[in-house]
């Protein structure tokens, strides 16, 4: 009887050179020279049609999405294939040198309705003014690899009122917030005409730039990031970007390495600075709220934003496999994220229920299963449904594992 075909493969991901990316971290991770100092913003591992990873096998170099589709469910297994039809997640490494745009992601139901509505309106999928490029939601979880700063949800009422009172230009907004709450306040600034916008933000930006030049701003202060937006060109004094309001209205969160956070549908957020591992549902649906040159649809943003106070829930992960693995809880069926720290001779044992995608972030390892692999820093593999594998360290190693949760893969 011929041996069963292998269900474990080495992967090669895709680099995204967005302008906000750093210059050294991702090239160093992947062993890529960057003599021209290009920005390396993201490294993608997954089957996203925009940039699918490639299967590295002797004599083959196939896009991952094509390989999964051609297997007719044999690789993901019948339950995960029936539920998702394709690999449901996208794993990324991010190096955020300059702050990203204010963003909100829709729920799956909102995405389905929006996708159909824009199709009926005849908006091309690649149009700049397209909000919904697919029918999927886009929840995200991230784990910090360095000190990481981000905006996450609206400040609790007492803290937001304090901000409105302390900033002279914002005091006129207090009656709006007292009468109409978060929705009324955000609608007021997102629909504000250009002249009113300049009237409120120009003096504020002038003041924060003076404080910045004097070295009096700290990263926990919204003024620090308002100044950063101005010096990076994301806003100007002549035409202030309304995303500046979000910097003051949202929670500023600092994460330490190993700490994580989950971004649910409707929660407004923005990455400010740092490096992280990010795992998300495979989708392109983003509604932007400023600090960007891309399309901002204020009306749709107001319909999809969660207008309530947010107490940031920092994820520390819970330990499994005798403490060598930490899993970061995500309340979605599409993905699960964990870190694996191999510092003893004890192997990590994996059993893929759909598709386990593993990236070596540091060190080197030997993977044994239906195919044996030796992987160093920056290399990765995917193990499909039914694959039992072991990971043994060659030297102390840190890995991240993306997987389909057991409940989703089993169809329960």
Q: Which residues are catalytic?
A: 288
Burial of 6-16, coded b for 16+ CB within 10 Å and e otherwise, reads ebbbbbebbbb
Query: What secondary structure does DSSP assign to 252-270, as a single string?
Result: EEEE-TT-EEEE-TT--EE
Contacts of 401 (CB under 8 A, 6+ apart): 325, 337, 338, 339, 340, 350, 356, 357, 358
Burial class (CB in 10 A: 0-12, 13-18, 19+), 213: exposed
Instruction: Give the pair of three-digit tokens for residue 325.
Output: 């693995």
CA 266, CA 140: separation in Å to the nearest integer? 12
How far apart (Å, rounded) are the C-alpha atoms in residues 34 and 80?
Answer: 39
Per residue, the 3-state secondary structure of 203-253, as one string, reads HHHHHHHHHHHCCCCCCCCHHHHHHHHHHCCCCCCCCCCCHHHHHHHEEEE
Q: How far is CA 365 from CA 49, 298, 377, 393, in A?
A: 29, 48, 9, 4
Strands 348-351 and 336-342: unpaired
CA–CA separation, 149 and 135 (whole Å): 30
Q: Is 383 left (phi over 0), alpha (psi -120 to 50) or beta?
A: beta
Would you give the distance in Å from CA 226 to the centre of its chain? 22
Specify which residues 360 forms β-bridges with. Answer: 399
């Amino acid at each position: 009887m011929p041996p069963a075909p292998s269900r474990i493969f080495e992967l090669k991901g895709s680099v995204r050179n967005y302008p906000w990316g750093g210059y050294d971290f991702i090239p160093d991770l992947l062993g890529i020279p960057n003599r021209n100092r290009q920005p390396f913003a993201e490294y993608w591992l997954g089957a996203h049609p925009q940039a699918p990873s490639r299967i590295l096998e002797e004599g083959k170099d196939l896009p991952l999405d094509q390989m999964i589709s051609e297997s007719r469910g044999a690789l993901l297994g019948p339950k995960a294939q029936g539920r998702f039809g394709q690999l449901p997640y996208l794993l990324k490494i991010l190096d955020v040198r300059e702050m990203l745009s204010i963003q909100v992601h829709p729920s799956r139901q909102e995405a389905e309705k929006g996708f159909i509505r824009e199709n009926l309106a005849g908006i091309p999928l690649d149009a700049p003014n397209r909000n919904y490029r697919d029918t999927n939601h886009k929840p995200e979880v991230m784990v910090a690899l360095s000190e990481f700063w981000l905006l996450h949800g609206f400040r609790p009422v007492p803290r937001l009122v304090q901000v409105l009172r302390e900033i002279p230009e914002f005091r006129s907004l207090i009656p709006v917030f007292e009468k109409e709450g978060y929705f009324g306040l955000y609608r007021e600034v997102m629909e504000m005409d250009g002249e009113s916008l300049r009237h409120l933000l120009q003096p504020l930006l002038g003041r924060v730039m003076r404080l910045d030049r004097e070295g009096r701003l700290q990263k926990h202060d919204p003024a620090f990031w308002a100044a950063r937006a101005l010096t990076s060109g994301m806003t100007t004094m002549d035409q202030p970007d309304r995303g500046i309001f979000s910097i003051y209205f949202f929670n500023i969160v600092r994460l330490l390495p190993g700490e994580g956070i989950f971004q649910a549908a409707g929660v407004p957020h923005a990455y400010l600075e740092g490096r992280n591992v990010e795992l998300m549902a495979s989708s392109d649906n983003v509604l932007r709220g400023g600090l960007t040159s891309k399309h901002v649809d204020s009306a749709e943003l107001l319909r999809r934003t969660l207008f309530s106070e947010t107490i940031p829930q920092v994820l520390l992960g819970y330990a499994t496999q005798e403490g060598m693995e930490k899993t970061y809880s995500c309340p979605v069926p599409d993905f699960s994220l964990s870190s694996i720290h191999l510092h003893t001779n004890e192997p990590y044992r994996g059993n893929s229920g759909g598709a386990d995608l593993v990236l070596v972030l540091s060190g080197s390892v030997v993977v044994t299963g239906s195919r044996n692999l030796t992987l160093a820093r920056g290399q990765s593999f995917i193990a499909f449904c039914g694959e039992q594998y072991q990971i043994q360290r060659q030297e102390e190693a840190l890995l991240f594992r993306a997987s389909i949760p057991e409940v989703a893969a089993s169809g329960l």
